[in-house]
Amino acid sequence: MKKDKRTLNQHLMKKSLLLFAFALALSFGAFSQTYNYAINSLNIPCIEQKGDLMLGLGWSRGASFRALEVQAVYSPMRHLAVMANYFGAPEKSVRKQEVYGTNFHLWEAGVGIYEKLPKGAASLFAGFGSGNLFSHYRQGRTADFNIQRWFLQPGLSYRSHHFQAGLALRLSHLSYHRAVVDYSIESPDIQFIQNIEKSAPMFLPELGIQGGVRLKPVTINLSISFIFPNTNEWDFIRLNSSIGVIVDIGVGRKNVGSK
């Protein structure tokens, strides 16, 4: 039995590492398209008790970006957890106004409550995020926005010996501050910006689904996050696909996933 379990773990590890290497290779390369917002991956933790800590590192892609994502969740006391996320889609050559495109980053933090389930947990988080979006439209024409986002996120997670999954709905309130825009930007890009000015602040329902192979204490995780109302009039990136690793650190955890 132990030999079969070891063989299964080795097989899962090989498959996961191949998938991870493939996604990492895809993360390189440049984009040459502007956008006015990109969804980051939803952080869907499987926190079950005081002292649990989850650290995640991932690479994500959308229609016009590639990004590094860092996520963390920690439970300082029973039923209470804190969350921190970073999304960075840097394009240094865009910042230098050397190429056409967008440079975007976002930090966010939240606090929430959770309840352990027979296999997994239910959670509810609320938080705030802040970031900057800079776009270069050639010939020195730029748009520079500070972005703020409040969110409420109910979620469910599942965990077994070899599998982990999560589902969450993030209700985001998105606003734009300190906008510096060159209004000689040509259409349709300037029209997108004007539509944002008319519509902001915006309410965005965002859905996240994830699943991964557990190689305790590491999970190789795949995630898809998307905005489900149509955002074409604002030129938002509605879909984010991500692959990453999650490390579970539990203080005093015993027999997790053994039920």
Among residues 121, 114, 124, the alpha carbon closest in space to that of 159 is found at 121
Does this model's pTM top 0.85?
no
Question: How does pLDDT run across 2-24, given as a tens digit for each residue?
Answer: 555 555 555 555 554 555 554 44
* Mean pLDDT taken over the chain: 86
How high is the pLDDT of residue 85? 97
Whether pLDDT at 99 is above 50: yes
The enclosing H or E element of 21 equals helix 2-26
Confidence of residue 40 (pLDDT cuts 50, 70, 90): very high
Q: What are phi and psi of 153, to 5 degrees?
A: -135, 100
Average pLDDT of the residues in 115-140:
93
Helix (H) or strand (E) holding 190: helix 189-199
Q: Which domains does the chain carry?
A: 2-27+41-249 (2.40.160.20)
**Residues facing 57 on adjacent strands:** 70, 245
pLDDT in tens, 134-175: 999 988 899 999 999 999 999 999 998 889 999 999 999 999
Q: Which residue has the tokens 């579970």?
A: 248
CA distance linking residue 68 with residue 75, whole number of Å: 24
**Residue 244: DSSP 8-state:** E
pLDDT at residue 209 tops 50? yes
Query: Residue 11's pLDDT is what?
Result: 54
Structure tokens at 46: 């499987």
